Structure formats: structure tokens, C-alpha cells
Structure 1
Amino acid sequence: MNIHEYQAKELLRSYGVPVPAGNVAYSDRQAQAVAEQIGGDGWVVKAQIHTGGRGKAGGVKLAQSLEEVRKIADEMIGKTLVTPQTGPKGKVVRRVLVEEAVSPQRELYLGLVIDRRSQRITIVASAEGGVEIEEVAARSPEKIVREAIDPAIGLRDFQCRKVAAAIGLRDKHLMAQAVRLMQRIYRLFRDKDALQVEINPLGIVGSEPKLVCLDAKFNFDPNALFRHPEINELRDLEEEDPREVEALGHGLNYIALDGDIGCIVNGAGLAMATMDAIVFHGGWPANFLDIGGGASPEKVQNACRIVIQDQNVKTLLVNIFAGINRCDWIATGLVQAYTSLRIDKPCVVRLAGTNVEEGLRILTDSGLAFVKASNLDDAAAKAVAIAHGRNV
């Protein structure tokens, strides 16, 4: 689960991490009032949407007067911002962050992520900040510093000093600041069950050099949100795909993709294998959808409704290996969905496991033209053939 930059900075501020003075605004007049409250003679106005590359797309602008702050905010709020991460549709800007303008002497990169290989929280840092870390990793991988944290003892000061020295913070005052900053961000990361924190850039500012987080991105584990209602309240559903939001409300795990074969599968592993099989046979999945265990006919019907909302879907592929699930419930849900929703798209069904004979009988007796498959490979091949207009 992602949050906005202004929300990330509020979290950082609550843990004593230095961030620029600023606040969120929902209108041009409010933006001007925020700038006036901050004071000074320069401000930065930043579009608040869940994507990177805002600066290059015109979503980050400097203002030298209060009137200019108001004008920039007026132009920015309501504008559709298109970045490489948003795709051609872009995202609508509904709020802006107004901050004091600072001129960093240097820009660094600092991040914390879950390293799946070592299964540890890992610090990722670089002396080259202000650019995409992927660009640095591709161009100069030796400039990326990594430090894994032992969960049994936590982040130690010597590790912070090691990272700080590696990215050029050898001055004793800056190193001391870096240790405090890393420890506090680590504690925030751990306390709130984050998956990723990215400070880019981490700036060195002022005549008496000080480390300040000039930009911040947070990603939280959605499976841990029940422990953190205060984090869940930060969720901006307008920034998410409405189908994914609806699916969440029905207990479904749905992620929209850009293919034409709608997938309804039980279990994340089988869902990934199903998408791989589709690609292997020359197709492309329109979504990832895991209906989970013990899916009722109503849940299957909801899954079908969500999948067919994608206008690109040409055929559905239902792949169920039932253990906790029951094939007869799956089949009943499919028949109800195709009947009540009047779905006219072909559907390839592969059922295996609990009550499979009864499930297949329900499909046959429905009189609907379900295409049955004997295994995953057969199902994927048939779905791709139908999507490409071939007979099966």
C-alpha cells in the first residue's frame, strides 16, 4: 500500500527525522496560505500522486512569490499528470504539497527494503541521489551500497557509520546525523510493517550542513494493515484501480494487467503459474486474480464481474485446484455469473480436486458453452487460441 509524499513526511517528522517545512493543500488559495505560513522567499509546489517521475512531467515547480504559488497550484490541481509509471492515461492531481525551497549542496540516496533473498531488512544507499536508483544500478552498480540488518539485534550504529562513510558522509557531524537518521527510519520501517522506504534525494543543506529528507516514498505490507489502523487511514483509494478496490472489499486479490485473457484462479502460486502458461502459449493475461480458499458461489460471481469490467478481456480462464475450495461451488458461481450478468465472453474452465465430478456436471447441465480443459497446459492453450480467434 502506497501513501503520498506529504503523508510520508508527516510520518518521518513524527519519528524525529528532518524534513522541509511544508503542508498539503487542496486548492490554490490554501496553497498560498501554506506558503505564507511557512515564510521565506521561495517555495516548491509538488503534485501529490502515487507515481515517480513527477518532476519531468511538470509536477514539481519552484515559486518565488506567494502569487506564483497560487498560480502554480491552480494550474496543477485538477491536471492529469502523465509519467512513465502512470501510462498514457496519467493520474489526476487532487492535492499539492507546498514546502520551503532548499538548495542542497549534495543529493544522496537512502532506502530500506525487504531483501527476499536474505529475508532481512536491508539498507540501500548511494552517493548519487536525485535520480532513479535503477539508473545508478545499471550505469554504476559499484556505487550502490547495501547493508543487511540482523532481525535478532536490529540496526547497529557501526552499520550506519559504515553506510555513511561509503556514501561520503565522513565529516563527524554529518556522520552523527546519518546514524540518528538511519536508526529512526529503521524504527519507523519496523514499527509500521513497511515493505519499502525511499528517501531520494537525501540532501545536505545549509551553511552548517544538515541532512534533510527532500522526498520520501513509503510502501506498506497490506497484510499487516489490521495492526496499523493509523496507516490504513492514509490510504487514498482514488489513486488505486477501482476494480482492485472493489476486489479487496470482496476478499479477492486482483491486480489489473494489460492482456486480453481474464484469469480467475485459487492460490497465488497457481495464479502465477497460470499466467506463465498463458505467456508460454503466446498470450498475455489481463489480470492476476486469486479467489483464495473456501470461495462461495457469490465470491466467484463477484470475481467474474470484476474481470469482465476490463474491456480488453476476450476470454476468461478459470483454473481451480480445489482443496479447501469445492469445485461444485466454483461451477455454481460461474453458472450464476454467466446467467445473471449475461456474460458473452468464452470461458475455459479447468477443475480438479474436491467434488470435481459434481462441478463438471453442473457446468454441463447448465447448457452454457463452457470450454473444459483437462489440465493447466490444456487450459492455457485453449484460452490463447480463443483469444486469437482460433477454434478449439
Structure 2
Amino acid sequence: MNLHEYQAKELLKKYNVPVQEGYACSSVQEAEEAYRKIKTDTGSKFAVVKAQIHAGGRGKGTIKETGINGVKVAKSMEDVEAFAKGILGGTLVTVQTGPAGKVVNKIFVGQDMYYDGPSERQEFYLSILLDRSKGENVIMYSTEGGMSIEDVAHETPEKIFKEWVHPSGRLLGFQARKIAFNLGLSGVAFKNCVKFVTNLYDAYVGLDCSMLEINPLFKAADDKIIAVDCKMNIDDNAMIRHADLVALRDVTEEDPTEVEAGKYNLNFVKLDGNVGCMVNGAGLAMATMDMIKLSGGEPANFLDVGGTANAQTVEAGFKIIMKDPAVKAILINIFGGIVRCDRVAAGVIEAYKNMGNINIPIIVRLQGTNAEEAKKLIDESGLKVESAILLSEAADLVKKAVA
């Protein structure tokens, strides 16, 4: 589950991780009130207005309707009002959203971090995620903060450091000190960084994050170490341990068809092709998508109905796939191991009848337990459904359908 910046920062506070203070706002009036509070509470003369969407590159992205960036520095109440009006309700396009962009429903009005002080300010990069190749958590960090880490990796890979932590233990003191040292910190800033990284790692583990990114990690003029931005992803499989966090899910940021699929416990990912596919098992789904491409088509989705496919799940899958106007054919590829093929065939027939008029080719390939009986059921159903047992047969039918 992805979280917005303002949500992630509130969670980090519970782990004593210093963050840029601010307020989430849904209207211009709320933004103006937030600016007043920031001036009173922090003494900050300026404020930062940030669009809240589940995508990076907001500072360089632009609002389609107004042409302004997704992150702006406001130097007055008039600026706050203008930026709030120009961002809220607009469509923000960044390198991560694609040309379609995402609608901005909230903004974060935060304190200005460039306040005066005795020492230099610096921006760093730091993230924590799972390194699957080692089976350990890895802290990746760099002195080059405030910019795309992909650019840093490409242009100056020597400036990226990594520290691995075994998932059964905590971040050790010498590791936290090593990170602060490699970032070039000393004195009070060094001590603050050690404490920051230690608490941040505790938050990563305690919240069951799959990814936690701070960019920039900011060394303020008074040597405080602060999370100015935060991207947080919580492992969906761990949500049973975090019932209090379920309400933080923002379904408006997710693909509507994927949200609907989740209601039926279907694993669905929207793609850009022309052949819809419905499969049981992730491995078979990947092989099916490859077969579609080899047949001259392009997969329109990844849809795994699981090992207990029945008429209800098949019908739900049909409806979700049919919502895509680009789909020219649907391929159902089921391996009957846990579930019998004849039961799946009966479910396909029932779903087809319930849905009424379907004007695109439906190809059903069932293999495994009672595959022959399943093919007979479909062939004798009188419906416009073509059946196959071999994968090569299904591939030929897909090729014909998209030709």
C-alpha cells in the first residue's frame, strides 16, 4: 500500500524521526490557515506547497491545466492562495505518471527548511528496501540528494553507498555511524544523523515497509537532520498486523479496475495490449503473456484468478477485462490441479450467459484434471467460445483473433 507524503511523515513522527512540519490541505482556505499556523509555530517566513500524488518527480512535473510545477515555494499569503488554486484539482504530469498524469486532491503546505544558521545546508538521499538477491534489508544512500537516484546511479555510481542489515536484527551502532561518516558529516550533525538513521530503520521494520525513501534527507543550517520528503510503501501481506493503517489507503490513486478486482480477490494489473487473459497461477500467467506476444498480440492485462476459480470469479474477471475497449479477444488459460477443469468450464459457460452479449472472441484452454470433459462442455454449449487443450492450439486461435 502506497502512502502520501503527509501520511508517511505522521507515521515517522511516532518513531521519533524528525520531519518537515506541515499540514495536508484539500482547499485553498485550508492552505491559507496552514500557512498562518506555520508562521506562528515555526517562525518560517516562507512555505512549501507540494502536490500529493503517488508518484515521484513532482517538483519537475507540471499541472496540465495551469502549467505550474507540483512543488512551489510560497513567500506570501498571496503565493499560497495562487499555488493552491493552481494545483488543487489539476492533473499533475511527471516522469512517473506518464502523459495521463494524476489528479491532485490534496496539497501539503510545509515549513521552509532554508532557515538561517551557523553552518552549511546539505541535501542527501537515503532509502531502505529489501535486497532479494541477498535476502537482507539494504540501506542505500548518497551525498547527491534532491535529485533522481537513477541519474546519480548512471552518472556517478561511485557516490552511491549501501549498507546491508539482516532482517532478524536491528541496525547496529557502527553501521549507523558508517552511514553518517560516508555522508561527510561531523560533530552535532553526525550524532543527529546516527540517531535519525537508527530510528528510520526501526520505522521501516515496525511498519512492515517494503520501501522507505527519504529524498532529500536534509542537514539544516543548525545541524538538524530532517526528512523533507518521504515515500513509503507498506507490504500488503502485513496489513493484518496494521489494522489502524488500512484507512490510509487512497483508492483514488489506484487504477479503478485493479481496485474492483481486489474486491473479488483477483490479482489484476492493467497493461496496454489487445488480448485480455485470465489465468490461474502467476507463473502460468507470465507464460501466457509470452505466448500472446509470440502469437502477434499484446497482453492487455495480468489476471490471476487463483487456484479455486469458480463461476463468480470467472464472471468478475470477464467484466473487468471487458471494460477495456482495446481488448480484441480474451484468452482463458486454466491448469486444473487444485480445481477440476470441468468445473471451470461450467463456470465459464455460466458467466458467459449471465453477461449476455459478448462480441469478441473467447478462447478457453483447459489442461489437467478432466480437461477432455471440460472441452466437451464448452464445445456443446452453443456459445461463441473456442476451446483448446494444447498451448499451441490456443496460440493459433489468438493469432487468428488479432489478425
Instruction: Please point out which of 190, 203, 209 is paired with 1:188.
Output: 203
Cα distance in 2 for residues equivalent to 1:2 and 1:377: 40
Question: Quick check: 1:373 aligned with 2:377?
Answer: no
- Cα-Cα RMSD: 1.5
Q: Which residue of 2 aligns with 1:127?
A: 143
Q: Which residue of 1 aligns with 2:107?
A: 96
Cα distance in 1 for residues equivalent to 2:395 and 2:194: 52
- Listed one character per residue, the Cα deviations across residues 339-379 of structure 1 (whole Å, up to 9, x for unaligned) are 22222111222111123223212211111232323333443
Pairs aligned (count): 386
Cα distance in 2 for residues equivalent to 1:279 and 1:183: 47
Distance 1:182 1:67, change over 3 A: same
Q: Which residue of 2 aligns with 1:68?
A: 79
Q: For 2:111, give the aligned amino acid.
A: E
Q: Which residue of 2 aligns with 1:52?
A: 56
**TM-score normalised over the length of structure 2:** 0.92
Indicate the SS of the match to 1:233.
helix
Question: Quick check: 1:302 aligned with 2:313?
Answer: no
Are 1:203 and 1:214, in contact at CA under 8 Å, matched by a contact in 2?
A: yes
Q: Which residue of 2 aligns with 1:284?
A: 298
Q: Which residue of 2 aligns with 1:319?
A: 333
Indicate the SS of the match to 1:152.
coil
Instruction: Please point out which of 205, 220, 223 is paired with 2:237.
Output: 223
Alpha-carbon distance, 1:90 to partner:
1.3
Are 2:123 and 2:145, in contact at CA under 8 Å, matched by a contact in 1?
A: yes
Aligned positions of 1:73-222 closer than 5 A: 73-103=84-114, 105-169=121-185, 171-206=186-221, 208-222=222-236
Stretches of structure 1 that go unaligned for 5 or more consecutive residues are: none
Alpha-carbon distance, 1:252 to partner:
0.4
Cα distance in 1 for residues equivalent to 2:180 and 2:292: 46
- Listed one character per residue, the Cα deviations across residues 222-241 of structure 1 (whole Å, up to 9, x for unaligned) are 12212211222110001101
**TM-score normalised over the length of structure 1:** 0.94
Distance 1:381 1:159, change over 3 A: farther
Alpha-carbon distance, 1:382 to partner:
3.2
Q: For 1:13, give the aligned amino acid.
A: K
Are 1:122 and 1:147, in contact at CA under 8 Å, matched by a contact in 2?
A: yes
Question: Quick check: 1:33 aligned with 2:33?
Answer: yes
Cα distance in 1 for residues equivalent to 2:122 and 2:329: 53
Alpha-carbon distance, 1:333 to partner:
2.3
Alpha-carbon distance, 1:381 to partner:
4.7
Q: For 1:313, give the aligned amino acid.
A: V
Q: For 2:33, give the aligned amino acid.
A: A
- Listed one character per residue, the Cα deviations across residues 295-335 of structure 1 (whole Å, up to 9, x for unaligned) are 22111110111111111111111111121122123212222
Are 2:126 and 2:139, in contact at CA under 8 Å, matched by a contact in 1?
A: yes
Are 1:291 and 1:299, in contact at CA under 8 Å, matched by a contact in 2?
A: yes
Indicate the SS of the match to 1:23.
strand
Are 2:280 and 2:333, in contact at CA under 8 Å, matched by a contact in 1?
A: yes
